[in-house]
Amino acid sequence: MNLNGKTAIVTGGARGIGKGISLVLAKSGADVVVNYYKGEDAAREIKEEILSMGRRCIIVQADIASFSDIDRLIEKTLSEFGRIDILVNNAGEAAGHTPFFKVDETRWDLTLNVNLKGLFFLSQKAAEHMTEKKWGRIINISSCGGKLGFRMMPHYCASKGGVDALTRQMAVKLGPFGITVNAIAPGVIETPRIKIDFIEKPEVRDGYLRAIPVRRFGEPNDIGYCVTFLSSDFADYITGNIIYVDGGWSINPLQPEFKIEDENDINKL
């Protein structure tokens, strides 16, 4: 898949899934704008890696939940590359595993502001420039949580369900302008944070592996390959879809089994 001449913005593009996406896009020929919120060292490292491939790359610090930061990200992209062809809305906020009755306004707003509000307004700004060329790709990174409903993440699941609905709405609105909009819902992907929270805890790891039909966790490149396909001309007639890159987890009736000490304790629900 040849993305030569295309410019891609990847939010949260310096670490974890975002890093995998940025690298695969660059290997496929795209110039990449790597957005990051924290972790400048990681952003600089991936910039050097992309430059070593012979692709162009800039890094831009921006809080996707901030209107002014969104404007600055768009302006820096246009100043450097003069175009926006691909937007990957990968930046996300989980705000921690929290029981239903313990989610407060601060945690709720933090999650929704990044995962949904920021995604929408950045897409709005990028689409303004894509419509001029009658070509564009917007790819939203959702989650299986938008479908499955994770026990300890009501705020996160709500935000990702919103991403799925918004993906379909944007596909309908932007399709006449040659812009496709799709979402990718990753399963359990081996990022540094997931390794700590899941993979390095045998009782958690084994529960998930039993629930994933292919019996392995995903890798950031797995998401990057799907993003690259959706960014290419091969996917020109695909829009408004939520694609589950999860090893079959979301279609398997078997869900991870964990010991719950007291189902009647509202502080653990």
pLDDT tens for the 269 residues of the chain, in order: 899 999 999 999 999 999 999 999 999 999 999 999 999 999 999 999 999 999 999 999 999 999 999 999 999 999 999 999 999 999 998 767 788 888 899 999 999 999 999 999 999 999 999 999 999 999 999 998 778 877 778 898 999 999 999 999 999 999 999 999 999 999 989 887 777 776 777 877 888 888 899 999 999 999 999 999 999 999 999 999 999 999 998 887 566 655 444 444 444 44
> CA nearest 231: which of 106, 84, 73?
84
In a domain, 66, yes or no: yes
- CATH assignment of the domain containing 100: 3.40.50.720
Euclidean distance between the first and final Cα of the chain, in Å?
45
* 266 within some domain: no
The reported pTM is: 0.91
Asked whether residue 212 is domain-assigned, the answer is no
Q: Residue 110, SS3?
A: helix
**87-106 per-residue burial string, b: 16 or more CB within 10 A, e: under 16:** bbbbbbbbbeebeeeebeee
Q: How far apart are CA 41 and CA 23, in angstroms?
A: 16
In a domain, 20, yes or no: yes
Range of the domain at 142: 7-191+219-247
Tokens (6 digits) for 207:
């529960």
CB distance 38 to 29 below 8 Å: no
Residue 172 lies in a domain: yes
Residue 198, in any domain of the structure: no
Kindly state whether residue 214 falls inside one of the protein's structural domains.
no
Asked whether the beta carbons of 187 and 140 are under 8 A apart, the reply is: no
DSSP H/E element including 210: helix 202-211
What is the tally of structural domains in the chain? Answer: 1
Residue 141 one-letter amino acid: I
Inside any domain, residue 129: yes
Instruction: Give me the active site residues, please.
Output: 156
